[in-house]
Amino acid sequence: MESLEAARACAVLGRLAREKEIAQAFFSRIGEALEDVDKRRWFRRMAQDEKDQRKILVKHRKELCRNVGDGAPQLPVSAGHDLLEILSREADVEYVGAIRVAIRAAEEARLFCDRASDLIADRSCRIFLKILAEEGRSHRDELRGELRDLERAAMADAEAA
């Protein structure tokens, strides 16, 4: 792999690994705070998904970037992931707002994976990035469903009052 291609792969995979780490911490944190057992399990599953995906990203990064020195470019994480990181450290997180931020971060990650898959020459890494884009879509859709349920419940409560 040429050095420019390797540097690009390092930057892309480094950003994605960091975003997965942030998302894992966020999902774990939110899951711990929930009383509903099913929702707690759901968030734990999503946190585990992020952890598993990060492991594979790190493996790809080690393989593709072994000849790239410490001067490899660093890409900043998405704005949504910046917010997730902040929410992960907050003591009192508003659930609906957290879900909205998680939807944004999942969509940003999905789009980035989709675009990045066109930039990476390594076939197995390209395929994995496409898989990550689809898994990001799945998380986003699950989170959107949760948000719709929350909004419906809030409307029903408002109408009942």
Any idea what the CATH number is for the domain that residue 76 is in?
1.20.1260.10
Residue with tokens 């470019």: 73
* Contact assessment for residue 81 and residue 88, using Cβ atoms and an 8 Å cutoff: no
Distance (Å, whole) CA 84 – CA 88: 6
pTM given for the model: 0.91
Q: What is the pLDDT of residues 66-118, one digit of tens each?
A: 876 666 678 999 999 999 999 988 878 899 999 999 999 999 999 999 999 99
pLDDT above 70 covers a percentage of the chain that reads 96
Distance (Å, whole) CA 136 – CA 159: 34
pLDDT of residue 129: 93
**Domain residues for 47?**
3-160
Q: Bigger pLDDT: 66 or 17?
A: 17
Please, which contacts does 134-139 make with residues 24 or more away whose CB atoms are closer than 8 Å? 135/49, 135/53, 136/106, 136/107, 136/109, 136/110, 137/106, 137/110, 139/46, 139/49, 139/102, 139/106
In total, how many domains does the chain have? Answer: 1
